[in-house]
Structure 1
Amino acid sequence: MKKSYFVIPLSFVFHIISLNLILFLSVPKVYNHGYSIIYYNLSWLLITYSIDFYPTARREGFGTNLRNFINLFVLFGLVYFTSFTFLSDRTYPLGYLVLVYALICLMLTLFRIVFYWARNLYRSNGLSKGVRVVVIGRDKNLKKLRRIFDTGSYGYRYMGYFDNTKSGSPTYIGTIQDSFSYIFENNVEEVYCMASRLSKSEIQELMRIADNSLKKIKIVPDNKELFSRAMSIELYGEVPVLNLRASPLELEYANVVKRIFDIVFSSLVIVFLLSWLTPLVWILMKIDSKGPLFFKQKRHGVNRNTFLCYKFRSMTKNEDSDTQMATKGDMRITKLGRILRKTSIDELPQFFNVLQGNMSVVGPRPHMQLHTEQFEKSVDKYLVRHFLKPGITGLAQIKGYRGEIVENSDIVNRVRYDIFYMEKWSLQLDLRIIYYTVVNAIRGEERAY
Structure 2
Amino acid sequence: MTPNLQIAVRHQAVENRIAPSLERRRLRAYAVMLLADGVVFQLCFALAGLLWDGRWWQPRTMLAAQAMLPVYFTLALYNGTYGVKALSNWLFAVRKGLTALVLSAALLNFAAFYTKSNDDFSRAAVTLGLLFTAVLLVALRRVSTIIINQRWGGQITNRMVIDDGGAGFAFEGAEIIKAADYKLDPASHDPFMLDRLGKLLRNQDKVVVSCPRERRADWAFLLKSAGVYGEIVSEPAHSLGALGVHRYDHLDRTTLVVSTGPLGLRSRILKRGFDVAVASAALLALSPVLLVAAALIKLEDGGPVLFVQRRLGRGNQFFEMFKFRSMRAETLDADGSRSTGREDDRITRIGAFIRRTLSWAAFRACAGVALNSVMLISSTHLSSAVRLPSGLPISRY
- TM-score bracket, normalised by the shorter chain, equals 0.3 to 0.5
TM-score (structure 1 length as normaliser): 0.37
**Which structure is richer in relative contact order (CA contacts within 8 A, separation 6 or more)?**
2
